[in-house]
Structure 1
Amino acid sequence: MFKKIFGGLLGRGEQAADSLPSRLQAVAVVDEDVAAQAPPFSLPQTLGFVSHQPIQDQSQRIVAYEFAVKDSVALARPAASRRSFDQLLFNTLKNMNIFRLLAFRRAFIHVSLASLDDLLQQELPVASAIYLLELQDGEQLADTVMPQLDALRAAGLRFAVEPARYGTAPAALALYQRVDYMVLDFAAPNTRALFPLLEQLPQRYPQMRWLARNINTAEELALCRHSPNSERFALFHGSYLSVAQNRVSQKEGASQGRVLEIMRLLRANAPAAEIEAQFKLDSLLLFKLLRFVNSPVNGLSRKIQTIDEGLMLLGRSALFKWLSLLLFTSDGDGGATLSLLEKSLIRAHFMEELGIIRGNKLEAEHLFLTGMFSLLGDLLNLTLAEALEPLDLPFMISDALLQQKGLFAAPLQLAQACEQDDGEGITSLAAQMDVDLDQVSSVYMEAVVWAQEVLSESEVQSNVEGV
């Protein structure tokens, strides 16, 4: 597929223009006869787990999340039911406390054009929400859509569309003039439509920015970064981004090695003076640790100033927990590393909360460490076994991380299923752990928000103002 797309970008994809979707006539009005013949659509009481996938900027920092419900039955519903379904999505997002997340990140929310009249009443922060306007088969572009969009844009709302689904007919071009982002989906079946879109639309809409979705290979990422008009790609989403990390330099590796040595000393119950001596070799590490520990998230009654105080007020286990964050920030807070940190924090807190639900505090603490260290191999460019070796972790943690076995394996697999939007895996693992889908969704969102709060209050954060 990469070769075909790249050929089109180099001017060899003209023939693909004829295969552009002619469904442009499809956007907000459903044929009344089709709707009348459609079977009644029954809305679920809840949406269960709502997918929320991270989106990175050009520096590989996570700046936004994409919210969508992948339900083939729901997507085929008539316009009236689609509007009700969208409202149910908004209600679910509010129950998931999306408002807290929008203080730190932007959100791309999938909605139908049938719901345009309902967007203002959702009262989401206009600067933080971008509405991705979805297209359904059998719809037509209504005359009322453009005035609706004009009024909503005047109120500050922002929009995105996937042009490969709309094409380049006059009605679609009028729509593109009213959106802020175009979405290029590498997983879409109509990839031949990408050729002329990448060549024509940037020239016609020079202010437009692109979101590249479902980047799953190095070739697809290279296409976005090195093709003509590559500067238009402002945002990126996909499984490949989680492994597209930069090599750790020798200096950075040395800093991380010192953190690992301090953590080893803590596990070995070494004297406080020995631990403090390691920090004296790198005062920046001590500064970063105190910044994390004194974050308001911890709710300490007074600030900790020294390692002795940290050991006394927090205890060795909690200090070990916060040192694990330093492993991800000892390289100068690079974008790729911060994305790994955010992902690790989300896993760690999500798994910790699952342990709290079980009612076992020690188990919850060990689950936090399991999630936190699950990406340590990616960070250090080592196998996970090599990365974990100096830490001498409890057997239950290492068994889950290295063998995918034991008591902590299912919570880790559930966290990974949530990241990958694996609906079947989420349903199966939640049932295995006796947790309902609504609870999984709310706990996972709580973990996402908690990670933003930790990063923000610790002055380790991404700049989302440009989104």
Structure 2
Amino acid sequence: MGSREPLTPGAADDAASHTFIARQPILDRDEKIVGYELLSRADETAEHAPVVHTRESDSILLFHALSNFGADTLFGDKDAFVNCALDALDGDHLELIHPERMVIEIADGCPPERIAEIGARLAALRERGFRLAGGGWMLDDAFRGWLPLLSHIKIDVRNLDARAAQRLLGMAALHGKLRLVAERVETREVFERFRELGFHLFQGYYFQRPRTLGTKSISPAHGNVLQLMDLARREADPSAVETVLKRDPALSFKLLRYINSSGFGLRCEVTSFRHAVMILGYGKLFRWLAVLFATVSANSVPPALARTVITRGRLMELLALKLLPKEQCDNAFVVGIFSALDAMLGMPMEKVLGSLSLPEEVTDALLERSGVFGPFLELVEACEGGDFDRLGDLALALQLEPYGVSEAHMSALAWTETLGV
């Protein structure tokens, strides 16, 4: 395993900001976790969402869940219950997620004059495959038309007597698969009482208070996000989109983590930027970028660190072109540009890669400097550090001329300069 030059001290703190999301488990009658409700948090000590639900706050929560944490980290193979304001039910952010394991929970009441309008939005979501949940207020006569669309009704059981519970269960039984969720279950006695009555799912402090999870997230440059939005809007050639992604490691990291997240619902692994753009399509890419822009902090990756990893990526790509099949050169670039994610995020590389689905040969190179790309990365780092003795040995081991490696390095540096980083 080769030595690694330490990158700029403090770079991680400058490059990363913290994002927090709380989750509370939802359990079945056998006390097995079947899902998590995801909740916004301003910081690690906050006990409540920082704002009331709005179209913007709901979209930002979903973006953080998929692009900063990753669906696998937050809810794994369970369902995710996500609150949604009435005015966000037709929001673009819902285009960014795969409906298979998402339960959209309507977070507030609905005025009588909007019942038909909101009902149509719920029907459209159900048609797309989302499951829908609501509060006990949806059992009022005015909302009976919505009940066939719902999969869950959440009931605050703190002051619910047995007779009222039986009436609710009877109404749920009339609508087939509608499941009643007992909320605010705070003692074993309450859980057992409503389980015996026939409630299907349970949530409350007895099982677990909402637990806040935090992660460091690196922010791409505003200018790159805006440029990509313009390219997506104009449906530019994919190579132009790929060029912008290649000059912003934070942006490319978020995109690959998002598109490979289980919440996206993709059945194959995406590792190249061009493939990611083609899979997403320009419409969905634009929506993802719009939400990203709303969440970008003032702190992006320090320019010096960005230039370092971009040059690494380009040099890896140039060297790979000399020895490897063309289809592997994209992965060589990914290895180079992601080789300092640990420094950017201030956490071990193993933990970073746990949230990003990458081919084994890429992770082997990043973690151990082994596999197909490991020797290339070691060579690039030696070239970068001016270790000419080691550079010569590593180049010869790959059957490359040291002079040719130095020439490729100069070309990579020049290429990075053309990007304006």
TM-score (norm 2): 0.39
